[in-house]
A and B are shown apart, each in its own frame.
Chain A
């Protein structure tokens, strides 16, 4: 039972809202009042209280019709979380730009996929630190990146510069850090996005920073200029991708292709080619047209692997070499890593290495691991 301001708004607009429902049902024949009314009953009252929310309620009403019509509440639970948990907490910001914020946040929840509910909850936390609707969208981009939308890395690093410290730390799930540590988080990610900020700054350093915030610039500079550790200190930092049956993109174990970059891997699975944006926060695989890039296989393979290696024997000039036994050579340094032994292909990633295995749908990424400050 809806009461209060929301009930009044529904009553005042009854005829028009009913017509909008009918219009929506014309295109979504399966749309029923039973699907729409419970969501409205939960979503509208907290937004309506306090008055002056007509436009916001209007936008939310349309959104509910849309998702009920598309039957998305069942497949994207994040949408309900957004409507019922996040929007009430974001009310102050939503009231200022309901027509843009409401659909934008809904789209973002859908676009981050399985982590939509997490996005919805986190954006409410981030929003509590903001008073500018435009900044909410910027913070939302950083949040989406942190939740695995790796394609946003460069944009998000740019957006992050404009955010208040507390909002940035909330978006990066570093709420426990002092506000003065926000520049450190950014510096760490700019220095190496394969290692998350919480592994780069120790608790002790954070405590010290809380006591002496003026030390932040100096610490940030140290993070920015942190030298690359010896090869022996590299670690397996990520397993990228998965079998399509488990929600991944690969039908068969992938093979890495030439032309991969530090945060953009190029692979093929049979005849299907992918570009994968990846970093410490996650990975996104997108199909791309087949090209002529070749597979680079580790030394010492047999059969088909030997053949492929022969195709790709030409020197890459990157000083990177990988053996079947996991012996990795990078810039004249050599070290052995069991995690990458028996690889089917590998790629040098400008200061990191990616390796595939014939019995795995996941790409292993080995990268420098720097000790925390």
Chain B
């Protein structure tokens, strides 16, 4: 329940609604609750519902950006109309003024990660607020500052598995006749719902493996004893975004990172704010308002609400189209099933080497040439989860393409390996993408969407009808109908083969058509056998 706070006190929470709808305020008559509303906070009167969880999370976001973290970057841009844009000379920079509420990735992405309990990696130079931001997430989960601080695992070269997970009792070690007799004193952080690992790239490789088990599978293991960890939001930090450091981060651990958040540099124009903090010893994490603390039950409810946000077919199709661009390589194999960059990697080759051969495509335009790898199932699941979470946070009824566009760079940041030798990057205006991975992924998404629109796939998608027919199930479909569908698949494959090369998205379509063909063929055989 909100309480009395000076309006600009860092303990003040933004007034609800944080996303006001036009005209909503005028219609309501003066009411008892208005008597008790005012500068000293807006306590709920009898029977008034607690603020919705999305609203509470927005309040948390605004508290963080207004009072906790000096992050004057609104890089997650959303627009309701064409934004005013200003072009600056030099390298040629466009500055846009978003026309809809826009957000700072450094504040919002960790918050979404907190809300849907994923694994977030903060990257950026020292002193950029990575650990401070992670600590805030711990306090948001209701832990005291002391608990959060004690729960932080500080990566260092001597860190052992025992340091990370816990120790066997020495007495048990001496007296035990089997490992089951050994009692482990587990580290408390394992049972926390927010887990923070600072400088994870300084943890020795063996200890990283133990961390991987906990992070990926949700349990800790020492001497055959295991401890289950609750659903947790993870926050890891690294000074080097490539995962370097004292130790190379093992691939499996890197692969488990769901989202990457870049700690941006400090804007010297805000030195005044910094000075005040220095002079007054302000520590926002110590005075986080209780109104924006989330209970375990609330976090569970948030997760359920987020999962319920629909991703409409046009958005899903664009994600499919975008995702289909990366794994495909026509030169990787003879059979359609193996035309994957995995085939190249398993052969010990690189895409840059294979792609230098002629496949009959314009290598500047073909998006497949830009990456060394494709998107994993895990990446796509993460993308879908975060897209839902962002739409939910923004208060929209369903996910939009703008949500995908905003998030894709941060989720795929560590997942898509750029093929720096691709001709695309040799174009004068594209060289920057070899350095700016966020802009590159966003650009690739835009290019994929442009191609999708050019092909008019929203309206002209022959497979949509097949999807719908198949989704209705095979039970009861009569033999003539099955044969008609098989004919339709074969006809469509024939027309595709005649009209187009095997582009990446066509490859995905072809594989799906082949899949349907098999399912219908098997069903037909069963129908015929059953008489």
Q: Is there an interface contact between B40 and A22, defined as CB atoms closer than 8 Å?
A: no
Q: Is there an interface contact between A62 and B4, defined as CB atoms closer than 8 Å?
A: yes
Q: Is there an interface contact between A107 and B39, defined as CB atoms closer than 8 Å?
A: yes
Q: Is there an interface contact between B9 and A27, defined as CB atoms closer than 8 Å?
A: yes
Q: Dominant SS at the B interface?
A: loop
Partner of B32, one of A20, A27, A141: A141
A325 at the interface (CB under 8 A from B): no
CA A110 – CA B35 in complex, angstroms? 9
Across-interface contacts of A28 in B (CB, < 8 A): 6, 8
A14 at the interface (CB under 8 A from B): no
Task: Tell me the smallest distance from the CB of A6 to a CB of chain B, in Å.
Answer: 18
CA A105 – CA B2 in complex, angstroms? 14
> Which residue from chain A places its CB closest to the CB of B4 in the assembled complex?
A103
- Give the contacts of B278-315 with A (CB-CB under 8 A): 280-283, 286-287
A316 at the interface (CB under 8 A from B): no
B376 at the interface (CB under 8 A from A): no
Partner of B36, one of A23, A66, A137: A137
- Flag B13-40 by CB within 8 Å of A: 1 or 0 each: 0000000000000000111101111111
Across-interface contacts of A65 in B (CB, < 8 A): 6, 9
Task: Tell me the smallest distance from the CB of B115 to a CB of chain A, in Å.
Answer: 25
Across-interface contacts of B72 in A (CB, < 8 A): none
- Flag A3-32 by CB within 8 Å of B: 1 or 0 each: 000000000000010011011101110000
Across-interface contacts of B43 in A (CB, < 8 A): 99-101, 103-104
Partner of B4, one of A66, A140, A149: A66
Across-interface contacts of B45 in A (CB, < 8 A): 104, 137
- Give the contacts of B29-81 with A (CB-CB under 8 A): 29-32, 34-41, 43-46
> Which residue from chain A places its CB closest to the CB of B283 in the assembled complex?
A19
Task: Tell me the smallest distance from the CB of B160 to a CB of chain A, in Å.
Answer: 36
Partner of B35, one of A27, A59, A63, A141: A141
Q: Is there an interface contact between B6 and A106, defined as CB atoms closer than 8 Å?
A: no
Task: Tell me the smallest distance from the CB of B102 to a CB of chain A, in Å.
Answer: 25
Partner of A104, one of B36, B281, B287: B36
- Give the contacts of A191-243 with B (CB-CB under 8 A): none
CA A70 – CA B9 in complex, angstroms? 12
Q: Is there an interface contact between B287 and A103, defined as CB atoms closer than 8 Å?
A: no
CA A108 – CA B33 in complex, angstroms? 10
Q: Is there an interface contact between A102 and B35, defined as CB atoms closer than 8 Å?
A: no
> Which residue from chain B places its CB closest to the CB of A277 in the assembled complex?
B30
A298 at the interface (CB under 8 A from B): no
A75 at the interface (CB under 8 A from B): no
Which of A23, A108, A140 has most chain B Cβ within 10 Å?
A23
A151 at the interface (CB under 8 A from B): yes
- Give the contacts of A306-351 with B (CB-CB under 8 A): none
B10 at the interface (CB under 8 A from A): yes
CB<8 Å pairs between A and B, sample of 8:
A16-B287, A19-B281, A20-B11, A106-B4, A111-B34, A140-B35, A141-B35, A144-B35
CA A112 – CA B38 in complex, angstroms? 11
Across-interface contacts of B175 in A (CB, < 8 A): none
Across-interface contacts of B1 in A (CB, < 8 A): 99-100
CA A99 – CA B36 in complex, angstroms? 13
Q: Is there an interface contact between A155 and B32, defined as CB atoms closer than 8 Å?
A: yes
Across-interface contacts of B11 in A (CB, < 8 A): 20, 23, 62
Q: Is there an interface contact between B6 and A66, defined as CB atoms closer than 8 Å?
A: yes
- Give the contacts of B427-452 with A (CB-CB under 8 A): none
Task: Tell me the smallest distance from the CB of A224 to a CB of chain B, in Å.
Answer: 24
Q: Is there an interface contact between A108 and B282, defined as CB atoms closer than 8 Å?
A: no
A138 at the interface (CB under 8 A from B): yes
Across-interface contacts of A138 in B (CB, < 8 A): 32, 46
Partner of A107, one of B5, B9, B40: B40
Known contacts A23-B280, A23-B287; A107 and B37 CB within 8 A of each other? yes
B209 at the interface (CB under 8 A from A): no
Using a CB–CB cutoff of 8 Å, the interface residues on chain B facing chain A are 1-11, 29-32, 34-41, 43-46, 276, 280-283, 286-287
Q: Is there an interface contact between B4 and A63, defined as CB atoms closer than 8 Å?
A: yes
> Which residue from chain A places its CB closest to the CB of B26 in the assembled complex?
A289
Q: Is there an interface contact between B5 and A62, defined as CB atoms closer than 8 Å?
A: yes
Across-interface contacts of B3 in A (CB, < 8 A): 59, 62, 99-100, 102-103
CA A307 – CA B38 in complex, angstroms? 45
Partner of B30, one of A104, A134, A152: A152
> Which residue from chain A places its CB closest to the CB of B276 in the assembled complex?
A26
Q: Which 7 A-B pairs have the closest CB atoms?
A: A107-B38, A27-B8, A103-B40, A103-B4, A104-B36, A151-B30, A100-B43
Known contacts A103-B43, A110-B38; A62 and B32 CB within 8 A of each other? no
Q: Is there an interface contact between B280 and A22, defined as CB atoms closer than 8 Å?
A: yes
Across-interface contacts of A70 in B (CB, < 8 A): 6, 39
CA A96 – CA B167 in complex, angstroms? 45
Across-interface contacts of B4 in A (CB, < 8 A): 59, 62-63, 66, 102-103, 106
CA A54 – CA B3 in complex, angstroms? 15
A45 at the interface (CB under 8 A from B): no
Across-interface contacts of B38 in A (CB, < 8 A): 103, 106-108, 110-111
CA A20 – CA B8 in complex, angstroms? 12
Partner of B9, one of A23, A111, A137, A152: A23
Which of A24, A27, A100 has most chain B Cβ within 10 Å?
A100
A159 at the interface (CB under 8 A from B): yes
> Which residue from chain A places its CB closest to the CB of B43 in the assembled complex?
A100
A127 at the interface (CB under 8 A from B): no
Across-interface contacts of B40 in A (CB, < 8 A): 63, 66, 102-104, 106-107, 110
Known: A19-B281, A99-B3. 6 other contacts (CB 8 A): A59-B4, A99-B1, A103-B40, A108-B36, A110-B39, A155-B32
Which of B29, B37, B41, B283 has most chain A Cβ within 10 Å?
B41
Across-interface contacts of A110 in B (CB, < 8 A): 38-40
> Which residue from chain A places its CB closest to the CB of B47 in the assembled complex?
A134
CA A63 – CA B32 in complex, angstroms? 21
CA A95 – CA B1 in complex, angstroms? 15
A69 at the interface (CB under 8 A from B): yes
- Give the contacts of A143-172 with B (CB-CB under 8 A): 144, 149, 151-152, 155-156, 159
CA A66 – CA B45 in complex, angstroms? 21
Q: Is there an interface contact between A66 and B8, defined as CB atoms closer than 8 Å?
A: no
Across-interface contacts of B29 in A (CB, < 8 A): 151
Task: Tell me the smallest distance from the CB of B348 to a CB of chain A, in Å.
Answer: 60
Known contacts A100-B43, A134-B46, A137-B45; A107 and B6 CB within 8 A of each other? no
Q: Is there an interface contact between A69 and B35, defined as CB atoms closer than 8 Å?
A: no
Known contacts A23-B280, A107-B39; A152 and B6 CB within 8 A of each other? no
Q: Is there an interface contact between B35 and A108, defined as CB atoms closer than 8 Å?
A: yes
CA A137 – CA B32 in complex, angstroms? 9
CA A16 – CA B281 in complex, angstroms? 11
- Flag A92-126 by CB within 8 Å of B: 1 or 0 each: 00000001111111111011100000000000000
Task: Tell me the smallest distance from the CB of B1 to a CB of chain A, in Å.
Answer: 5
Q: Is there an interface contact between B280 and A27, defined as CB atoms closer than 8 Å?
A: no
CA A156 – CA B30 in complex, angstroms? 12
- Flag A34-60 by CB within 8 Å of B: 1 or 0 each: 000000000000000000000000010
Task: Tell me the smallest distance from the CB of A259 to a CB of chain B, in Å.
Answer: 16
Task: Tell me the smallest distance from the CB of B215 to a CB of chain A, in Å.
Answer: 35
CA A144 – CA B37 in complex, angstroms? 13
Task: Tell me the smallest distance from the CB of B3 to a CB of chain A, in Å.
Answer: 4
Q: Is there an interface contact between B6 and A103, defined as CB atoms closer than 8 Å?
A: no
Task: Tell me the smallest distance from the CB of A152 to a CB of chain B, in Å.
Answer: 6
Task: Tell me the smallest distance from the CB of B123 to a CB of chain A, in Å.
Answer: 31
Across-interface contacts of B281 in A (CB, < 8 A): 19, 22
CA A46 – CA B30 in complex, angstroms? 35
CA A213 – CA B450 in complex, angstroms? 83
CA A16 – CA B39 in complex, angstroms? 22
Across-interface contacts of A149 in B (CB, < 8 A): 35
> Which residue from chain A places its CB closest to the CB of B277 in the assembled complex?
A26
CA A108 – CA B7 in complex, angstroms? 17
Across-interface contacts of A277 in B (CB, < 8 A): 30
CA A146 – CA B243 in complex, angstroms? 69
CA A65 – CA B3 in complex, angstroms? 13
Q: Is there an interface contact between A27 and B7, defined as CB atoms closer than 8 Å?
A: yes
CA A318 – CA B6 in complex, angstroms? 52
